[in-house]
Structure formats: C-alpha cells, structure tokens
A and B are shown apart, each in its own frame.
Chain A
Amino acid sequence: MHMDLPRSARNSALQQNMQRRPTLSFSPLSLCYGIFGVLLVTYIGLIAVVMSYAALTVEFSQSVKNDEAAVATLEGQYLAGVAQVTGTNFVAEGYAKPTATVFVRAESATALR
C-alpha cells in the first residue's frame, strides 16, 4: 500500500532522523590540533633528551679518556722505574759480586718473591 505523505510531514521525519544520529562533542579539527600539540611537545622533548644524552656521552667519554691518559702517565712512570732498576749497575753502586752461588729449593714463597 502506498500512501503519499504531505511535504511538511516528510521534513519533520527527516529532522527527527537527523536528531537521532550521534554527534561529536568536539570538532575533528580541534582533535588534530591537540594531537599536533602533543606530538610537537613530545618531539621537542625527545630532541632535548637526545641532545642531553649526546652531551653527557661526549662529557663522559672525554672524562674516561682523561682518566686513561692519567693511568698512562702512571704506567710510564712504572715502566721507567723498571728500566732504571734493570739498568742499575749494582757493582758500581758498591755491592760486591757473590763469591759463591748456593742453589736452594724454593720451599715457600719469600717476601722477595
């Protein structure tokens, strides 16, 4: 059965349908702005973190290298000390060569070892 509704009635039904559809409480544009803002802050934050990390890495790396250089200086002194002891002419220093050498069993570690 087909019934022709008057125009005013049709408009009224359409308006009712439209009112029943869900609507957003904010505009998509505002959402995009929000997301953009969050991403921008995150991006700037990440840059800050990365820059700080890089600066700290360089600083720590330099600190380690400085410490290594200081250790190298001490090692140089140690090696120079070894060379000096090795090169010492003990006879010239007043020590006499032993008249005899006695070989003994190394039973225990002595202070000299």
Chain B
Amino acid sequence: MRAQFRSRIRLVLAFVILVALMIIVRLYFIQIIHGDEYAQKADKQFASGGGGLFDRGAIYFTRKDETLISAATLSTGFLVAINPQTLGNPENAYAAITNVAPDAISRDAFLTAAAKKNQVYIEVAHHLSEEAGQSLSDKNITGVQVLRERWRQYPGRTLAAQSIGIVSYGLGDTLAGQTGLEATYDETLLRSGDSLYRNFFAELFSNVGNMLVAAKDAREGDIVTTIEPEVQTHLEDDLAKVSQKYASKESGGIIMDPRTGAILAIASNPSYDANVLQNVDPAILGNPFVEHVHEFGSIMKPLTMTSGLDAGVITPQTTYKDTGCITVNTATICNWDLKPRGVIPMKQIIVQSLNIGAAWVATQLGQDNFRAYFTKLFGQKTGIDLPNESGALLSNLTKPQQVGYDTAAYGQGIAVTPLQMIRALGAIANGGVMVEPHLASAVRLNSGIERAIDWGQTTPVFSATAARETTEMMTAVVDEKLQNGKAMIPTMSVAAKTGTAQLTNGQGGYYTDRYFHSFVGFFPSYNPRFIILLYTNDPQHVTYASDTLSSSFLDLVHFLIDYYAVPPDRGFTTSTSTASQATTP
C-alpha cells in the first residue's frame, strides 16, 4: 500500500513538473520571443499612448552658496481629450474648457477636432493647472476626458537655454534630449521604470544583474551644473544690451574659472524660451559656442606672444621695427591704423594691438613652431559636455605661405569656436596649462549618492613664466589703454585684450566694413578666478571692439568682484587699516 501511495505521489509530482515546464516554455515564447509583438498589440487597444506619465531627471544651476536651483524640471497638470463619437454638444464642451483655460484651444480648432467622428481620442488642450483640471473634471462632460499630464519645465525660461537644451520627440516616439545638456546626459536623465507593461518573466532571466545590484539607481540621476544663475542673468542682460544697441547678428559670452574649467555663465543672443518652442527659429536651437567657428581677431595676439616667449625666440625686452605695413607673399598686412611705430618692445604689440608686431613674432617662431603651438591650442575639440562640437579651421597652417601664419598671429585666416578660444586663452590665465571646460560638475544619482564628474585632465602648453609675462602685458592694456586708462581698477589687477576681425565675404575675401568684435579678460591678473570672453558678430555702425564690448566687460568685472567679494590684490598695503585707499574719478 505504501509503494502504491509513493508511486501515486510520484505520478502527481511528475504531472506538476510537466505542467510547470509547459507553463515556463509557454511564458518563454509569450514574454521573450513574442513579447514586443504582444506589447504592440496591447498598445493598439488603447486610444491614447500607454507610456504613462512622462518622467525625467532634473538639471540644476548652482548658486555661489552651493544652493541648487532647477534649470530643468517637471511640471504636473492636466490635458484635455475629447471623444468625438460620444461628445454631445461641442459648443457647450468648448465653452466649459475655455471657461477654465481661456487660451487652451481656438474655437475653430476645437470644432474641427470634434467633427472627426471616426476617431475616439483627440487631445485638444495641454498643460492645464491643477485647479483648472480639477474644475473641468468636476463638470463630468460626456465625451470630454481630463487626464493627468507631466511635462518638461524650464523655470529660468531663456536662462542658458541653448546650453541646457530641449527635450522633444526625435526619430522615435519617446521624448528625449535633443540639444545641450539634455542631449549629452540623456541616459542619466532618462527614466525607464514607469513602463505600463512589466515583463516579470523576461526580467527574471534577462535582468539578473538588476536583482543583485540596483544598476538603474547607479545610472539614473539628476545633473548638477556649474552655471551660477545670477551671473548667467547678468551676462545675458549685458549681451542683450550690446545686441540691441549695435543691432548685432549674434552676441555671446562665457565666464569660466580658468583653474578648473567650470563655466559659471554661458549666454548667447538671440536665444529662446525653452518652455515655448512653437515659433522658435530652428537655427538658434543649436549651441553657437561649440557649433560656430569665428575668426576672433586680435585676442589671438596674446597666444602668439606667449608662444614666442615660451619658445624663447623673444623676451619681453626684445624690440622690433614696426613699419605700419608689410608685404608677405604679395599680400599687404597693416596695423589697424596703418601707422608705423618705429622700434618698440614686445609689450606694445599687445597694448597697442599691432598686427605687424604679431606677424613679426610669428616669423621669429617659424612655421613649424607656430603650427605646433596652435595645433596644441586648437587642434583638438575641447571635450566639453555639449553635443555637436565643431573643430577649428586651421588649414592655413598646413600651407607653406608665410602670410597664413602672419595673419593667424593676429586672429585672421583661422577660425575656432568660442569655447576653444576661451580654453586656449585660459592657459595664459592658468600658468600655461589648458583645462577642460565643462558645464556639469556632478550627477546626483537616484540612490542618493552624488558622483562628481572628473574634469581633471590638463594640457600644459606654455611655461608659467611665459604666461605671466603675457599677463603683465594684458594687464597694461586695462591699466593704460582701455577707456584711456579710466578702466583701471586701483585695487584689482585685470588683464584684457580686445579683438576686431573683418568678416569673410564668402568669396575668399573680407568685407571692409563688417566686423566681428571680441573681448577677453581675466582677474585678478596673477591669480585669476574668472576669465570672460565676449563677442558680437556684425555690429552696425561701429568699428572697434573697444567701443562695443568694453563697458559690458567692465560691468561684468565689477559685478563679479562685488558678488563674489573678490579681495583686492593691489592698491592696499598690509600694514594699514584705513578703509579708503584709492579713488578713481
């Protein structure tokens, strides 16, 4: 009898195992082999998309006191959809909708949607507030659905819009980052956990790793940027004034910490409100700091000078004879005012912005040396965390004609991006070492851990001595030349250089009356905390950058000194305790 009982138990067990195996095989085919097909089939049974509420990580600005302010976050509210087949009275429904959300949809558009009787679901209004949505929902109008909705919100509106980026539908049917940091850190910002369909069986086998370690928590998070919202606002305001005053085609500016590459502000004008993209020109959706290249003009001279000093072909005491104009390879090169200066020292090349002097230094360097320095400065992309970075146009430095090197020495004939330019000039401010410019400083993971992003890679280009000697020359520009010396700050050394380049006419030549203005400066000169690059493209009725950008630059310098309470680096003796030390009219 025991044997009989045991054999029955075995029979039942075998049956259970057989059934279990059959179920497992069936599940394998349903969920793994044909999983996607069934998901699509299920999707088609819904009138609206089954993706659930939109979710995405946040992007933050960082205030000077380390407080985080949202640059990109999520808003919640309601959308309104209609079912034309069950909608009783479209006029009444429209009146009810516009009663709670007056600008939701035009009457014609609503009635056109309501007339599509072959459809069962048409979204007619988005982004309704909580109050409006609840109010409309309470009316229980037949054929009108009020559904919860979540969308991307940019509280700063235009603030750093081109660098923060946008989210939209790309080639697929999911919302993804398309430009700026939204695109660069899309994988981190993307949220994958709220799918309508959970494929437990498939996950059991395919995501064993996720069961052991929370891989999603280690990947998904929020992005913390180095952008300081008040500095950013100030920069944008200054650039808007420049563009407005001179009717420029485009103006831009970057404020960076030259020691770390952390970008505190990066702004371009014109820009756009990232919350309202309907009427935005697609041309300004990209990022001009990495996608556009310009001939920057004379702000290239400090790099030529530092290269000459570093190579040892000149010293600050070296003199040359400035003739005002020279002819190189049949081309004539002249100073900006066509005037000769006679025999003058190197410092005057920077202070008076002399093209002949820069060309002379390039000749002293020799083509190989010049190419080596400029390739090191501009030959590679900066590696900034923005998409679609362009490379510099340095083809003139691959040709044997000396004129290409001479013009490159004062910033014509070679074109670089604004970020390449500030990175290269940052080497002068940072003891001859180039850093990696960057916008994101850390990723705040969902697990709660804040993972700092490593931007520590540096590229030595010049010796610290050469960089300091050029810095002294650039400091003299502010102290002696800018606004006829009135720009000098007695308590703060500021190094700067202006640049005015002729615009190319697209036919191999240059306009004689259209310019690209640029301005670079850093302070305190010998231990800089900030480097500022400003530019304005094609300003009207003005020739020199010293006229268009000086006041904006000085305004930013004074703002930063005050905002960050930058201590004075000169003009005070350490022994004195008297407050008033220096006065400037």
Q: Tell me the A residues contacting B by CB distance below 8 Å.
A: 62, 65-66, 68-69, 71-73, 75-76, 78-80, 82-83, 86-87, 99-107, 109, 113
Q: Which residues of A contact B491 (CB under 8 A)?
A: 103
Residue numbers of B with Cβ under 8 A of A are 53, 55, 58, 69-70, 73-76, 130, 148, 150, 153, 155-157, 159, 229-230, 233-234, 237, 489-491, 565, 567-568, 571-572, 577, 579-585
- The 6 residue pairs across chains A and B that have the minimum distance between CB atoms: A76-B155, A103-B491, A75-B155, A72-B73, A104-B579, A79-B156
A103 close to B75 (CB less than 8 A): no
Contact B585 A100 (CB under 8 A): yes
The interface residues of chain A lying within 8 Å CB-to-CB of B156 are 76, 79
Contacts of B74 in A (CB 8 A): 65, 68-69, 72
Alpha-carbon gap, A75 to B62, bound state (A): 12
Q: Is there an interface contact between B572 and A105, defined as CB atoms closer than 8 Å? A: yes
On whether the beta carbons of A103 and B69 are closer than 8 Å, the reply is no
By DSSP majority rule, is chain B's interface helix, strand, loop, or mixed?
mixed
Q: Distance in Å from the Cβ of B231 to the closest Cβ of chain A?
A: 10
Give complex CA distance A105, B428 in Å.
Answer: 28
The listed residue (B76, B233, B583) touching A65 by CB distance below 8 A is B76
**What secondary structure prevails in chain A residues at the interface with B?**
helix
Q: Which residues on B sit within 8 Å (CB–CB) of A62?
A: 76, 148
Whole-angstrom CA separation of A105 from B378 in the bound complex: 40
Which residues of chain A come closer than 8 Å to B579, judged between CB atoms?
A: 104-105, 107
Q: How far is the CB of B130 from chain A (nearest CB, A)?
A: 8
Q: How long is the Cα–Cα vector from A83 to B236 in the complex, in angstroms?
A: 9
Chain B residues in 8 Å Cβ range of A105 = 568, 572, 579, 581
- Residues on A with C-beta less than 8 A from B585 are 99-100
Residue of A68, A100, A105, A107 with most chain B CB atoms under a 10 A cut-off: A105
Given A65-B74, A72-B70, A113–B583 Cβ distance below 8 Å? no
CA distance A87 to B150 in the complex (A): 32
B155 x A72 contact (CB < 8 A): yes
Closest to A89 in B: B241
Task: Sample 18 A-B pairs with CB under 8 A, ordered by A number.
Answer: A65-B74, A65-B150, A69-B76, A69-B153, A73-B75, A75-B155, A79-B69, A79-B156, A79-B157, A82-B229, A82-B233, A83-B159, A86-B237, A102-B580, A103-B582, A105-B568, A105-B579, A106-B567
Q: Is the CB of B237 within 8 A of A87?
A: yes
From known contacts A75-B155, A87-B237, A103-B568, infer whether A69 and B73 are also in contact, taking CB-CB under 8 Å: yes
- Inter-chain CA distance A69–B130, complex, in Å, is 11
Closest-CB distance, A105 to chain B (whole angstroms): 6
Contact A68 B73 (CB under 8 A): yes
Contact of A79 among B150, B229, B580, B581 (CB under 8 A): B229
Q: Is the CB of A86 within 8 A of B234?
A: yes
Inter-chain CA distance A105–B237, complex, in Å, is 29
Residue of A nearest to B58 (CB): A68
